[in-house]
């Protein structure tokens, strides 16, 4: 039985209501059938690092930082703005904190001639990054910034597989990479291999060939 606290479901890794929204969005985009039960589980919510599912939802469902849904390329730019604002807030907050600590005598700098130039330069860089990100988002919202068109001469294996399978593969791969930084990667190694095998089968079926070797998937 799922444990819940104020609507939060531990097995879903989110609230049931939000999981429903992800599932409905998958149906809207043709990634799932309406009769499927929890098609977004393991793709856009579930066990594991929340940020992996968030990145996946932006990539496939167009999830925006405010929780709404848009086109994936607009969502990509919206998240870039969100991250740039966070970086600017951190940079300005850190400088203000250090200056307050120094004024109160809790921070003694080794170089008394230090004038915070590096910190202020970092803030200026963060402001510039934010300005560029906001311009790109505005252009994307106006339809002036569209996704890059792949070279038709190049075979894109991602077009040969079901988007829900691809989303599950990227979720598993994202968790594997996250766990490799000090967690338990073995929890996801087999899952990634399983989804690679599934994608290989779908590619082979699309191409009408017998699957007798690995096709060398790349995320």
According to DSSP, the residues that pair with 63 across neighbouring strands are: 69
State the average pLDDT over residues 4-25: 87
Q: How many CA atoms lie less than 13 Å away from 213 in the CB half-sphere?
A: 2
Q: pLDDT tens across 30-89, in order?
A: 999 999 999 999 999 998 899 999 999 999 999 999 999 999 999 999 999 999 999 999
Q: pLDDT tens across 28-39, in order?
A: 999 999 999 999
Distance CA 83, CA 78 (A): 9
Tell me, letter by letter, the H, E, C secondary structure of 8-56: EECCCCEEHHHHHHHHHHHHHCCCCCCCCCCCCECCCECCCCHHHHHHH
Instruction: Please say if the pLDDT value at position 175 is more than 90.
Output: yes
């Amino acid at each position: 039985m799922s444990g819940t606290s104020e609507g939060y479901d531990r097995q879903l890794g989110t609230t049931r209501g939000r999981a429903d929204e992800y599932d409905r969005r998958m149906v809207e985009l043709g990634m799932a059938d309406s009769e499927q039960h929890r098609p977004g589980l393991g793709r856009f919510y579930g066990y594991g690092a929340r940020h992996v599912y968030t990145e996946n939802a932006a990539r496939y469902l167009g999830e925006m930082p405010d929780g709404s849904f848009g086109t994936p390329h607009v969502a990509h730019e919206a998240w870039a703005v969100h991250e740039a604002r966070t970086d600017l807030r951190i940079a300005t907050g850190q400088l203000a904190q250090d200056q307050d600590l120094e004024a109160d005598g809790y921070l003694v700098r080794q170089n008394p001639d230090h004038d915070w130039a590096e910190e202020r330069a970092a803030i200026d860089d963060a402001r510039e990054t934010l300005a560029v990100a906001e311009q790109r988002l505005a252009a994307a919202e106006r339809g002036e910034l569209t996704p890059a068109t792949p070279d038709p001469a190049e075979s894109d294996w991602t077009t040969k597989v079901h988007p829900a399978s691809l989303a599950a593969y990227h979720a598993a791969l994202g968790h594997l990479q996250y766990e490799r930084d000090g967690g338990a990667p073995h929890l996801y190694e087999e899952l990634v291999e399983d989804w690679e095998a599934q994608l290989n089968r779908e590619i082979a079926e699309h191409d009408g060939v017998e699957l007798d070797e690995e096709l060398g998937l790349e995320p």
